[in-house]
Structure formats: C-alpha cells, structure tokens
Amino acid sequence: MPEVPLLKVNNLIKEFPLGGGLFAEPRARVRAVDDVSFALSRGETFGLVGESGCGKTTLGRLILRLVEPTSGDVEFDGQHILALGAKEMRLLRRRMQIIFQDPYASLDPRMKVNAIVTEPLCAIQNLAKSERKKVAAELIEKVGLRAADLDKYPHEFSGGQRQRISIARALCVRPDLIVADEPVSALDVSIQAQVINLMADLKKEFQLSYVFISHDLSVVEHISDRIAVMYLGTIVELAPAVSFSDSPRHPYTAALLRAVPMPDPHRKTEPFPMEGDAPSPIDPPPGCAFHPRCPHAFERCRVEKPSLVKTARQHFVACWLNNSRGLGIE
C-alpha cells in the first residue's frame, strides 16, 4: 500500500480577471496557473522554478487556500481542503504555513518579535503570557537567535535575521508543510547559506515538507528532492533533483540551465540560443506555450498542447519531442 501523500494537487486552474469593473465583464483573463497536478510526500522538498510571472506564487497561495482556484482540487493529508468551512480551514492552517520572500515587508514593524513569532499559535488557541514567552524563546533559539531578541522590533535585525524570524513564526504551530516563497532571494550568498542550512536542519528535526519556490536553479537543486519547472502557468518538467541539471528533457529547462552563469572563470557559459521574452499569460501562444522561443519547435508544437507524460522513473515532461520519440506515455 503506498502511503497517502501529504499534499495532492489536482488539475488546479487559477484565472484572474483583468480590467472591467465591479459589474462590468472583465476585458481579459490571465491564466496564472493552468492545469497543475502533483503530489508531495511527507518529509519531501518540492522545488518550484521558473521565470517571473510563470505562476509560482499563485500556485503556492492556492495550496494554502489563500486564494480560491477557478477549478481543480487540493487534498491535504487526505482532506479536500476546498470543501472545508472557515472553522475547519482555520484548524488545518496550523498544519500548513507560508514564508514570504521579502523579509522587510512580511513582518509587522509595530510588533515585537515575541508577538510576531507566536501570532499563528495565538490565532488558534489561548495562551497565557508566560506560556507565550516560553514558546517564543524556544522557537527563536531554534532558528539561531537569542531569547533577548524577543523584545526587539523587526527593524533592529538584518535581512537574514528577519528571515529567521519568519521561519520561527512558521514553525510556531508545528506545521507539516511549509510553502517557502523565495525565502532566500533577498539575501546575500553568505547569509543565504545560513538560512538554507537552517531550513534543512529543521526539516529533519520536525519532519517537515517544503514547497520551495525560487527562481535560482542552483538553490532549488541544492535543497529539493524533486523539482518542477513552470512555464506560463504549467509544469513543463518534473524531475528528481539528483538528475535535474544532468538530463533536462524539456528545451525550456535546458535553456534555463544553460543561462545560469557558471561561477567558474575557466568554464565560460556557451552562447545563449533562446531569444525573446516570456510571452504574456493574457494571450498565451497556441499549442505548446514555449514554441515561439523553442529552437526545436515543429508543426505539432504550434497547434497542440503537449501534456505532462512520464519519460523515465520519476521524470515527467510536457514536450512533443519526448512524446514523438514514443517514450512511455502513462
């Protein structure tokens, strides 16, 4: 019997209306997330990469039901969360938390650290002041700060320290899942390493699962067990992190990998074949959304959208090149 995955996302779609007023029909719709499905096991880190605007944040928010999907379904530990009422949802929230990118904007500047880190817990249960302090002290030491820091305000901390505070806050309710939306993107390399190591340690200690969102491929490869590459709202490739950089199957993944400047002066990055900007999600190209930038595009790519199919163990790709080679469709 395979165990029930902690998180299951089924055919999620999210459209945002654009323009139009309260009563007017919107002029257009952006399909920010376009038919995304995947499952996440307990203790797994699921990396999500892709260019700006491809729908990573929207997908993260859909998972926590911070926005309602247009259609599709999210199962958390076997429960269909979209069917839950407000009260049940609030209880479930203690098991899923989010960390945001910007350590400067995401912490309330008027609250002391003590109140910030225990807020998610206080939202669901009454805590005596002394109890609250005790919980906070324990958490803050877990993330490498000192109990004395609890009486300070966010502006008294550096970016990396603020991100530790965000992590302490997310851990407060002992969640099973943390969606981390670009948690290290605003940090210096040396501080980024501290936070990545901390997240890895906490994952082990608390059996956490992460959805780790980033546009930095090296970071995602480092921390993830599996990696999903998104393009214009869809997952175009899903692969184990160990083989990710080695054997990309989607031309977009290959182009992304090739575009990362190598931190090695002896290995000059090859000239870059992909031209143009990512197309607009308001008016996505027909067929495979990547075809206008793809060096391998052929007729079928322009008319028919490829779906995500299995090409190897744990490896899924949405590209006609793989399909037409007849690699096992599941």
Partner 1 sequence: MDPKLLTIEALSVHFHLPEGVARAVDGIGFDLQPGETLGLVGESGCGKSVTALSILGLVQSPPGRIEAGRILFESRNLLRLDAEGLRRIRGRDISMIFQEPMTSLNPVLPIGRQVAEPLMVHKALSRSEAMAEAAAWLDHVKIPAARKRLDDYPHQLSGGMRQRVMIAMAMVCRPKLLIADEPTTALDVTIQAQILSLMLMLKSELNMSVLLITHDLGVVAQMASRVVVMYAGQVVEEGRMTDMFDQPFHPYTRGLLKSMPRLGDRRAGRPPRLNEIPGTVPSLIEAVSGCRFAGRCPHVFDVCRKQQPDLFKIGAGQRARCWLKRYPDRRKPDA
Question: Whose Cβ is closer to partner 1: residue 266's or residue 313's?
Answer: 266
The site map against partner 1 for 53-92 (x = CB under 8 A) is ----------------------------------------
User: Token digits for 255?
Assistant: 């182009």
**By CB under 6 A, which span of 50-58, 85-93, 197-205, 260-268 interacts with ligand ATP?**
50-58
Q: 92, 257, 309, 312: which one contacts partner 1 (CB under 8 A)?
A: 257
Q: What are phi and psi of 213, to 5 degrees?
A: -100, 130
- Interface with Mg ion (CB under 5 A), residue total 1
From start to end of the chain, where are the E strands? Answer: 7-18, 28-40, 45-49, 71-76, 79-80, 96-99, 177-181, 209-213, 226-231, 234-240, 309-312, 315-317
Q: 45, 58, 106, 311: which one contacts ligand ATP (CB under 6 A)?
A: 58
Q: 57, 114, 166, 234: which one contacts Mg ion (CB under 5 A)?
A: 57
Question: Taking the complex as a whole, how short is the minimal distance between the CB of residue 51 and ligand ATP, in angstroms?
Answer: 7
User: Token digits for 230?
Assistant: 């998104």
35 CB-near residues (< 8 Å, 6+ apart): 11, 12, 13, 72, 233, 234
299 in contact with partner 1 (CB under 8 A): no
The site map against ligand ATP for 251-290 (x = CB under 6 A) is ------------------------------x---------
Taking residue 66's Cβ as centre, other Cβ atoms within 10 Å add up to 13
As a whole number of Å, the end-to-end CA separation of the chain is 20
Question: Whose Cβ is closer to ligand ATP: residue 103's or residue 281's?
Answer: 281
Question: Taking the complex as a whole, how short is the minimal distance between the CB of residue 48 and ligand ATP, in angstroms?
Answer: 8
255 in contact with partner 1 (CB under 8 A): yes
Question: Taking the complex as a whole, how short is the minimal distance between the CB of residue 220 and Mg ion, in angstroms?
Answer: 14
For residues 202 and 195, what is the distance between their CA atoms, to the nearest angstrom? Answer: 10
Question: Taking the complex as a whole, how short is the minimal distance between the CB of residue 247 and partner 1, in angstroms?
Answer: 9
Burial of 315 (0-12, 13-18, 19+ CB in 10 A): buried
196 in contact with partner 1 (CB under 8 A): yes
280 CB-near residues (< 8 Å, 6+ apart): none
> Based on C-alpha coordinates, what's the Rg of the chain?
21
Single out the residue of 1, 29, 31, 34 nearest to residue 306, CA to CA: 34
Q: 47, 49, 56, 234: which one contacts ligand ATP (CB under 6 A)?
A: 56
Taking residue 47's Cβ as centre, other Cβ atoms within 10 Å add up to 25
Question: Whose Cβ is closer to ligand ATP: residue 56's or residue 293's?
Answer: 56
Q: What are phi and psi of 148, to 5 degrees?
A: -65, -20
Identify residues 10-29 at the interface with ligand ATP (CB under 6 A): 16
Residues in contact with Mg ion by the rule CB under 5 A: 57
Residues in contact with partner 1 by the rule CB under 8 A: 51-52, 158-161, 188-194, 196-197, 200, 215, 217-219, 221-222, 241-246, 255-266, 268-269, 271-272, 274-278
Residues in contact with ligand ATP by the rule CB under 6 A: 16, 30, 32, 50, 52-58, 215, 281
